[in-house]
Every structure is written in C-alpha cells, then in structure tokens.
C-alpha cells in the first residue's frame, strides 16, 4: 500500500466557498472528515505532527499543507481487544471499563467520562442553543432535536408502526403509539393502583389524590388539574369547535371526538371483542358489549335496587318511579 497523503483524503474548499456554508454544513464537514481520519488510524496509520482534529477544521485554520501518515501498530486494549483511535485516548477507553468519570460539572456535580460530553451537558445550565433551523430560525441545544424539528417542515416521518402503518416524526412518539396495540401501561399510581400508558397522565392523575387543582375556570369556577384540561373546558362556554371534518365539514370541540367521527366515513372499527370477534368504532361501545358476555350490570336504581348493563336502560327505568 502506497503512502496516503493529506490531499488524498481532504475535501477542498476555498475560503470563499467556506464562507458560503451555513453552520450545519460546516458541522457536517467536520464530522465526516474526523470520521475519515479516525478510520484510517484504526487500520494502521498515524498522523505524527498534529492532532487529527486539527485536520477537520475550516480552511482558514489548518492552511491546506500536506501531511503524510506513517504505518504504525494501533494501540490495543488487552482486556477487551478494542482499538483506540488515538494513543492518548487509551485512558478514556479504560474509564469505560472501570466506571471512573473524571470530568465533573462545577454547577451540579454530575460527572462524565469525556470532556466533550461535559461541554454538551453544560448547555442545560447556560441555555446555549447552537443548532438553528434554517427554515424558521428556532434554535436547539442538541443536534438530534434540530433534526427532529426539521421534519415538521419536510413532513418526513421515518418511524412507522409495523402493525397499523401509522408513521411518526420521532421515535418516542412511535414507542408511545405501540402501547395502543399492546395495552402496556407501565406507569402505576402507588395510591390506587391505576395504571397509565404515559408518565404525564400519571402525574395528572396523582392530583386527584392530593386535591391539587391549580387551574380554575374564570367563568364558572370549576378547577382542573392541568392547563390543557382548562383550555378544553372553556370551549363549553365559548362554543368553539376548532376540529373540522374535511369530508363533511362537521366541526367538533375535541380532537378525540373528530377522530371517532371520521370512522363513520372510513368504516374503521378498531375495538374488537376477544370473545366473539365483533368490532366497534368506539371503545365505550366495546365495553358495553362485553357485558353481554360477563352479565355485569353496574347501573343500579337507587329507589328499587334493580340493576342494568347500560346507563340509558337505567334512565328509562327511572321513569316508572316518576309516573
């Protein structure tokens, strides 16, 4: 194998071209070049006269002069046989095995294996947001958050449910959605045992036990456990119906009601009885149907004690007491 020169690997930009790149393009350039040099070093080449990261800066900083790597055996960690990209990184690699964390945040005391991770962590204290959306200007502390945000502009939804085909912009959204198929509810109330699919739902539920209802309607005085619940409640006073069906134009105060309504057009019936296979468009219809199998009658008349499987049947029954 012949000597590999700096020019063999480097992507050349003039100073004028470099000035035209936006911050995300410059970061991408640095990431790609750094990975290239790291891979070269792993297979046996070493840059003798400089740190590899110096090769990955802008044209203004490294001056474009040629460097030739020489063949040298890569450092190997005996315990786990993993290559160290730089000789001076071997102590960092050993820290992943020993659990030592030498870089500590002087504000909260949290410690990290690598200084670069500590620098990223510090943004939680400083509020620094170096990654900016080129579409709307919104800034983010972490690159992955910017990438997820950009999908709101592009419409890209790379995370698809293998069961129903529904797609999402974020992996977390897909994970939460899967629970609608599995029925998983990992967040349980330690007071009453009720379980929830999302942690935020559990937090709101806990307020029912503490009696904490911080959000009060200024029209009727009714209290609510969350701001979002209060905003939804206010529609009962204003008559606002922001959710409109694109097929028939009918409008609804709640998004969940619109979703159920759409099934009258699509014929979708996602709630199926495991005993007889009958399917329903609404979950409460399925619950009511299940009582035909169990014989449960939860609605009882407080005057004569007669019980019914459905609330509507109880309401009809009560009329015989008022005649």
What's 301's domain CATH number?
3.30.160.60
Contacts 24+ apart (CB under 8 A), 279-282: none
Beta bridge pairs of residue 215: 224
Q: Does residue 105 sit within a domain?
A: no
Average pLDDT over residues 290-299: 87
Average pLDDT over residues 266-288: 87
Q: Does residue 275 sit within a domain?
A: yes
- Is the pLDDT assigned to residue 81 strictly greater than 80? no
Q: Does residue 224 sit within a domain?
A: no
Task: Please name the residue ranges forming H helices in 52-121.
Answer: 59-62, 90-98, 115-121
pLDDT of 89 reads 45
Give the model's confidence band at 11: pLDDT under 50 very low, under 70 low, under 90 confident, else very high: low
- Is the pLDDT assigned to residue 126 strictly greater than 70? yes
Per-residue pLDDT reduced to its tens digit, 212-261: 667 888 888 887 777 788 888 888 899 888 889 999 999 998 888 898 89
- Which residues are CB-neighbours of 260 under 8 A, at least 6 positions away? 281, 282
Alpha carbon separation from 304 to 259, 301, 314, 323 (Å, rounded): 39, 6, 11, 15
100, 125, 146 - which closes a domain: 100
pLDDT of 49 reads 42
Burial tier of 319 (Cβ tally within 10 Å: 0-12, 13-18, 19+): exposed
- Which residues are CB-neighbours of 80 under 8 A, at least 6 positions away? 97
Q: Does residue 89 sit within a domain?
A: yes
Q: Does residue 157 sit within a domain?
A: no
Tokens for 241, please give them. 């119906």
Interstrand relation of 167-168 and 279-280 (parallel, antiparallel or unpaired): unpaired
54, 77, 100 - which closes a domain: 100
Backbone angles phi, psi at 144, to 5 degrees: -65, -35
First to last CA, the chain: 103
Give the chain's count of helices (H) and strands (E).
Answer: 14, 18
Pick 145 or 100 by higher pLDDT.
145
- Is the pLDDT assigned to residue 24 strictly greater than 50? yes
Helix (H, G, I), strand (E, B) or coil at 23: helix
Range of the domain at 284: 241-323
Q: Does residue 236 sit within a domain?
A: no
Average pLDDT over residues 29-52: 57
- Is the pLDDT assigned to residue 290 strictly greater than 90? no
Per-residue pLDDT reduced to its tens digit, 154-179: 888 888 988 888 888 888 888 888 88
- Is the pLDDT assigned to residue 85 strictly greater than 60? no
Q: Please count the structural domains in the chain.
A: 2
pTM: 0.36
* Residue indicated by tokens 């149907």: 289
Alpha carbon separation from 50 to 3, 47, 75, 142 (Å, rounded): 17, 6, 17, 29
pLDDT of 251 reads 92
Q: How far is CA 290 from the centre of its chain?
A: 35
Q: Does residue 227 sit within a domain?
A: no
Q: How far is CA 257 from the centre of its chain?
A: 25
100, 124, 152 - which closes a domain: 100
* Residue 169: count of CB within 10 angstroms of its CB: 19
**Mean pLDDT across the chain, nearest whole number?**
75
Q: Of the segments 2-11, 56-65, 204-213, 304-313, which one has the largest average pLDDT value?
A: 304-313
Q: Does residue 182 sit within a domain?
A: no
């Amino acid at each position: 194998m012949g000597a590999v020169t700096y020019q063999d690997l480097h992507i050349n930009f003039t100073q004028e071209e470099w000035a035209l790149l936006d911050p995300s393009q410059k970061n991408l350039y640095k990431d790609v070049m750094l990975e290239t040099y790291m891979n070269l070093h792993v297979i046996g080449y070493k840059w003798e006269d400089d740190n590899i990261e110096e090769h990955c800066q802008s044209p203004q900083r490294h001056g474009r002069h040629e460097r030739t790597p020489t063949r040298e055996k890569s450092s190997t960690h005996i315990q786990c046989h993993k290559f160290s990209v730089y000789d001076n990184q071997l102590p960092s690699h050993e820290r992943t095995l020993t659990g030592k964390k030498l870089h500590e945040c002087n504000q909260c005391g949290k410690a990290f294996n690598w200084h670069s991770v500590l620098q990223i962590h510090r943004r939680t204290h400083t509020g620094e947001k170096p990654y900016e959306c080129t579409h709307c200007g919104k800034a983010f502390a972490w690159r992955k958050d910017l990438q997820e945000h950009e999908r709101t502009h592009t419409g890209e939804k790379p995370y698809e449910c293998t069961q129903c085909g529904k797609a999402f912009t974020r992996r977390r959204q897909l994970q939460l959605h899967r629970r609608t198929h599995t029925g998983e509810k990992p967040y349980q109330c330690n007071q009453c045992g009720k379980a929830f699919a999302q942690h935020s739902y559990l937090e709101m539920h806990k307020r029912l036990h503490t009696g904490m209802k911080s959000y009060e309607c200024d029209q009727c005085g009714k209290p609510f456990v969350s701001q979002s619940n209060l905003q939804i409640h206010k529609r009962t006073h204003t008559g606002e119906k922001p959710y409109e069906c694109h097929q028939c134009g009918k409008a609804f105060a709640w998004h969940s009601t619109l979703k159920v309504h759409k099934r009258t057009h699509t014929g979708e019936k996602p709630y199926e009885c495991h005993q007889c296979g009958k399917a329903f468009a609404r979950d409460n219809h399925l619950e009511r149907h299940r009582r035909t199998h169990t014989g449960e009658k939860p609605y009882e008349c407080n005057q004569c004690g007669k019980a019914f499987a459905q609330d509507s049947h109880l309401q009809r029954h009560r009329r015989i007491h008022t005649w």
